[in-house]
Chain A
Amino acid sequence: MRLSAIRDILQCEVLVGEDSLSMEVETVVASDGMSEILAFAHPGALMITGLTHIQSIRIADIVNVRAVIYVRGKRPDQKAIDLARQHNLPVLTTRLGMFDTCGILHAAGLKAGI
């Protein structure tokens, strides 16, 4: 599924990577546990989390996820945004909660990347 389509169904705001929305993602890792994402994320997955600390971007880079979506309307600070830009990592935010975000993506055919 294209990131642009995901943006549309989750009504996301794009914070980083407006020009990278044509990329495809097939799997999702969703967690607020950073060690859990480190331990289980598949490279190439879409990462969904409610934690916006700069560590979320570092971990996204370390496990090679393709993009990050923050739920519950969370927004990372400028340092995290700058780091994401440095790594060419698209970052989006949705007002939806974790449950609805995952439900919508699951119904759209995305699979677990954990």
Chain B
Amino acid sequence: MAQELLRKTYRVHGGDFDKAGEKAAEIKQVLRDLGLDPSLVHRSVIVAFEAEMNVVMYAFEGTVTLALTEEEIKLEIADEGPGIEDIELALTEGFSTATDEMREMGFGFGMGLPNIRKNADEFRLVSEVGVGTTVFATVRLDSNA
């Protein structure tokens, strides 16, 4: 396994809509300051943003962890929340359990998880109902999707 050059963990609070996306913006700054390819930064930040939004919208508490190796950008978003009963359904574009409040903010189009999967080279979602959900996503430094 490639050695980690950097690891940062950010806390995310469920329901805090004013701050939602702040951690993704910080991650963008960190990755940009490292001089990484803008398209890789772009894809990583979309992953981070959508996953952070999901924590804010659906969970109680969570963390966004960014890790960088010589080969890849790794994002791990873990939450304590209701979990996902049917993962395949949740990954279907257009499916959403968003509330009216979330839809009024322009979310809840059923694009969040599909957006994460589309922008990641590797994607894994683990969830337990009543416990929480963890998303693992990797963007390879030699990729350019």
Contacts and interface: CB of A to CB of B under 8 A. Distances in A.
Interface residues of B, number: 23
A100 interface: no
Given A62-B49, A64-B42, A79-B18, A34 B25 contact: no
Contact of B106 (A33, A39, A43, A79): A33
Interface residues of A, number: 22
Secondary structure class of chain B's binding surface, majority of residues: helix
Interface in B70-98: none
B107 A34 contact: yes
B111 A62 contact: no
B106 A32 contact: yes
Contact of B109 (A33, A53, A55, A64): A33
Contact of B115 (A31, A35, A56): A35
Contacts, number: 64
A63 interface: yes
A27 interface: no
A24 interface: no
Interface in B96-126: 104-107, 109, 111-112, 115, 118
A18 to B, nearest CB: 24
B106 A51 contact: yes
Interface of A: 31-36, 38-39, 43, 49, 51, 53-56, 58-59, 61-64, 79
Given A32-B106, A35-B112, A58-B49, 14 more contacts: A33-B106, A35-B50, A35-B109, A36-B109, A38-B49, A55-B17, A55-B20, A55-B21, A58-B20, A61-B28, A62-B21, A63-B42, A63-B46, A79-B18
Interface of B: 17-18, 20-22, 24-25, 28, 38, 42, 45-46, 49-50, 104-107, 109, 111-112, 115, 118
